[in-house]
A and B are shown apart, each in its own frame.
Chain A
Amino acid sequence: MDPYNWALAATVVTLLAIATLIGRVLQRQPNLGLNPAAVEAFNGRLRAWWIICCLLPVAFLSRPLTVFVFFGLSFWALREFITLTPTRLSDHRALFWVFFLFAPLQYVLVAYDNYKLYSVFIPVYAFLFIPLRVAIAGDPRRFLERVAKIQSGLLICVYCLSFAPALLYLKSKEGALDPLDQGDTARLLFFFVTMVILSEAVQFAWSRLYGKNIIAPEINSSRTWEGFLGGAATTGLLGMLLGAFAPYHQLWHAGITSMLISVMGFAGAMTMSAIKRDRGVRDYGTLIEGHGGVLDRIDSLCFAAPVFYHFSRRLLDAI
């Protein structure tokens, strides 16, 4: 295997280990005045990241298998989303097609590298189909609201997340001096996931250390302006450090995309918090009692994936 890949794996494991160690230390220090729930949430996220990082090396071996792993994540996240946001019984048929047609087909299109189709499949075709199917079911009550719920679930959990494995299929335009190979794109996906994790950890640290001004206390009481801005800046710097692993041609490309990841990760966390507050719950799932659901873990990944994809595509001059 490429020495690059080994170096990358070693770096990721080291970073995760450091973060885990910090989480453990914070847990053992009750007199630091930290909110135990926030520390627990941080540790919960780390556990999930370990699992995802153990699954990710599959990307170096098989692209379709990686796509399938992400499909599994999407499917589970979507069922958590729809379980928690109430739909009416008359939405049943529409939901059936969402779960068993649109979600799998999106990933099939990604696996066949059909960018032209998968980039519009859900936001155009599925979004036109859903209101029609709900209308045919003949229940006018809260029509727009119900349609919007199903569409949001599909957009966030399936469409957005599918851009993460889509990174694997980026290729250089013809005649490029240094064409992308499979290892390059796998490292790009790895870089993306690592930066999402790091940006969360860094935002958390900034918020804890310097956080004063809470952005929207009604939505999320732990997200502060200091955490957001400091997190974005630090993530950008860390991205430049780790940028050696990503196949970017310029150092600042890694920095700018990392900052974008941080901003979008924040956007995802805030949006999902708002939905949870609306429903009056703390976590999306009860997969493991007291540990929240898949969606609680991958919200920032979902929001960052399409933006990262489009920027990387542009910066790498790829098709």
Chain B
Amino acid sequence: MITETALTLLARFLSGVSVRWVDCQPDTCQRVYFANHTSHIDVILVWSALPHKVRRLTRPVAAKDYWSKGWIRPRLAKVYNAMLIDRKAIKVHQSPVQLMLDQMGHEFSVILFPEGGRQSGERVGEFKSGLYYLAKKRPDLELVPVYLNNMNRVLPRDEYLPVPLLSSCTFGPPMWLEDGEGKNDFLARARDAVMKLSRFDVDEE
């Protein structure tokens, strides 16, 4: 509890994050928050941007091979009640999506980063298919796009010292998988939904 508060405050101070909800309200219903991924502390930011009540029911999805290594990472994962998913040992009945659904039950929401890894620039990468299978198996889940702006300048890939610029975290209107919508169409639409939330772009390139 203390670690959580301290880490959240630190992350908020370093990122100077302002939280916006666009056509969407915080709610305790089961949701999948999917965001662009550019920095180590993205997950802390999205998670701490949620109101306390919602946060208690929301678990970030993280890669087991990365987060179970060393001393600090497993502890951090525990603080954030992370859902550690094994992305290496994929079996027929134990696909990552199935593992996620099992752990979610009918209670928890999840935060995931469908790009897979962190991106090095401002660009939003192609989405991996997990989000699609998740939506297909559980069409009742609200899929909420989240756009993190400027985080790649606060703490870029391969850097460990932050620069305390101002960033923002924008939640967008929920979306669902349409009837008969193909995988590629859906993933492109989801990626679009995230990118639409970028209000202004800061990078000159």
Which residues of A line the B interface, CB within 8 A?
75, 79-80, 82-84, 86-87, 89, 92-93, 95-96, 99, 281, 285-287, 289
Known contacts A86-B202, A89-B152; decide if A79 and B161 are in contact (CB<8 Å). Answer: no
What's the nearest-Cβ distance from chain B to residue A116, in Å? 29
Are A96 and B166 closer than 8 Å at their CB atoms? no
Other A-B contacts than A83-B16, A83-B166, A95-B163, 10 sampled, CB-CB below 8 A, are A79-B16, A79-B164, A79-B166, A82-B165, A86-B204, A92-B153, A92-B156, A92-B163, A93-B159, A99-B164
Interface centre among B161, B162, B163 (most CB of A within 10 A): B163
Q: Give the 5 A-B residue pairs with the shortest CB-CB distance, closest first.
A: A95-B163, A83-B166, A83-B165, A96-B161, A86-B204
- Per-residue CB contact flags for chain B residues 169-205 toward chain A (1 = under 8 Å, else 0) read 0000000000000000000000000000000101110
A83 partner residues in chain B, CB cutoff 8 A: 16, 150, 153, 165-166, 202
Q: Flag whether B168 is at the interface (Cβ < 8 A).
A: yes
B118 to chain A, nearest CB (A): 13
- Determine if A285 and B164 form an interchain contact, defined as CB atoms under 8 angstroms apart: no
A126 CB to closest chain B CB (Å) equals 15
Look across to chain A and name the residue whose beta carbon is closest to the beta carbon of B18: A286
CB distance from B177 to the nearest CB of A (A): 33
Query: Chain A contacts of B156 at CB under 8 A?
Result: 89, 92
Residue of A80, A83, A281, A287 with most partner-chain B CB within 10 A: A83
Q: Is the CB of B121 within 8 A of A286?
A: no
Residues on the B chain within 8 Å of A75, using CB: 164
Please name all residues of chain A whose beta carbon is closer than 8 Å to the beta carbon of B121 when the two chains form the complex: 89
Residue pair B161, A93 in contact (C-beta under 8 Å): yes
In the complex, the answer to whether A96 meets B163 with C-beta atoms within 8 Å is yes
Instruction: Point out the residues of chain A lying under 8 angstroms from B161, CB to CB.
Output: 92-93, 96
| A86-B202, A286-B18 known; A79-B153 Cβ under 8 A | no
Query: Which B residues lie within 8 Å of A93 (CB)?
Result: 159, 161
Q: Across the interface, which residues of A come within 8 angstroms of B163, CB to CB?
A: 82, 92, 95-96, 99
18 contacts between A and B (CB under 8 A): A79-B164, A79-B166, A80-B166, A83-B165, A84-B202, A86-B202, A86-B203, A87-B153, A89-B120, A92-B156, A92-B159, A92-B163, A93-B159, A93-B161, A96-B162, A96-B163, A99-B163, A287-B18
